[in-house]
Amino acid sequence: MTISNEIIDLALLSFVLFQLVIFFSFHVFGYKGIHYGIMVDAGSAGTRAHVFSWDSNDKYPHVKPYPDWHKGAVIKSHTPLAKAAADENAIPNIFHGIIEKVSKIIPAEFLPKTKMYIYATAGLRMLSITSQGEIIENTFHYLSENSPFKILRKNVRIMSGAEEAIYGWISVQHLLNRTEPTCGSIDMGGASIQVAFETKEKKNLHRILLNGKAYTIFGTSMLGLGVNQAMKRILHLNKNPCFPSGYITESIEGTGSFEKCQDLIKSIDIIPRDVSNETRSIRNFYGMASFYYTNEFFGLIENSTIDQLISSTVDFCSSNWTYLNKKYNSNPFLKNYCFFGSFQSTFLSDGFGFDFSRSFVVKSGMLNGAELSWAIGAMMKEVNSAKVDPYYIPSYMPIIEMNLFVFLCFVIHYLKLKIKGKNGFLSTRTSKLL
């Protein structure tokens, strides 16, 4: 064997080892550094894209709103994804603006590796299986063809109600930055209600591993009991106590009475009895979505009691519609708050068994400066369980240094053999190194 052939053999060996080191470096050490992710809440009343970031060098990556904890980017569309069942333009109308705005928020070099998750909730769960499938497929294809993000088919899907409940619970613990004692979560959306809390019960249980600590969680969802869907159940009554006095349409004449509205709600049996035997003993919940919007509308403190909600609702229901329009500047949802207050107070007292004069639920839209929703909890689940991309590292200097070290070792080894060869010790056995 000539020296020339030896050089070729050693070069090939170095190249193979170089590739092996790269392969194992990525698989063992993974994709380290800052990541970005987009979690889209495809809800029954609209679509919201949340932008998050985290550092995968952390043992338990701390997901946070991006670009700033107190100013997390949330891009909103008032069009619900479920509208795509009847409107073929709904999907592009929703996502065109979201794609455009989010693309300007996340650093450009990260866009191709930023995963976008589309999680649909009760709005789609209420559609037929056929409609659900068509909307999910059409959404996936539109995003694959029109967005710069990493779109995986498995990440465009409909969440179960239990998942939504659990992700809401994770969000509360994460934003409070607490492990003990935990807080329960209640999410009253437009089409469903989700409830989750730590428990010792034996049904509707979920084992959660959050930042290395295990929890047993009760989580359930009540489809059709969100405020908008529940309200549809009382629209059959012409003279309707759940609308302010003086509110008149072709089918409804508001008579404005909290007591009679509450009786109507109870008569159609839409309040679940004893959501769980343990809710009466739990004293710390966070209420999201409609709980927060209604509480804020009435100007109540975050930890308002049921009595305080009832008092505000009684005043509102009995007020004249003309007066209310002037006071609230024709709020487009104004007519709904007599029902919202009546329904929520009844739900908390009859469904949960909460005391009227004590505060058990903090109604919040923000928690420690970040928006409170199930979205950040869902992203935490994805971050802690997702497989790592094996071929992309933002900072690759350590890999270069490792490969350079290996290459130099083989060069030194080759030079030693060459020197020995000049002194008469090198034989054709060198080829056996390969």
Q: How far is CA 107 from CA 37, 40, 148, 149, in A?
A: 12, 19, 12, 12
For 104, the enclosing helix (H) or strand (E) is: none
Annotated active-site positions, please? 164
Q: Are strands 285-289 and 253-254 parallel, antiparallel or unpaired?
A: unpaired
The DSSP secondary-structure symbol of 188 reads E
| 378 annotated ligand-binding residue | no
Beta carbons of 349 and 280 less than 8 angstroms apart = no
- Separation of alpha carbons 76 and 65, rounded Å: 15
Beta carbons of 24 and 356 less than 8 angstroms apart = no
| 196 annotated ligand-binding residue | no
List the beta strands (DSSP E) in 304-405: 361-363, 366-367, 370-371
Q: 3-class secondary structure for 61-79?
A: CCCEECCCHHHCCEEEECC
- At residue 176, the 3 state secondary structure works out as helix
| 191 annotated ligand-binding residue | yes
| 190 annotated ligand-binding residue | yes
- Separation of alpha carbons 21 and 35, rounded Å: 24
Beta carbons of 44 and 221 less than 8 angstroms apart = no
| 330 annotated ligand-binding residue | no
Q: Find tokens 């029954």 and name the residue.
A: 44
In the annotated binding site, the residues are: 190-194
Residues that constitute the known binding site for ATP: 190-194
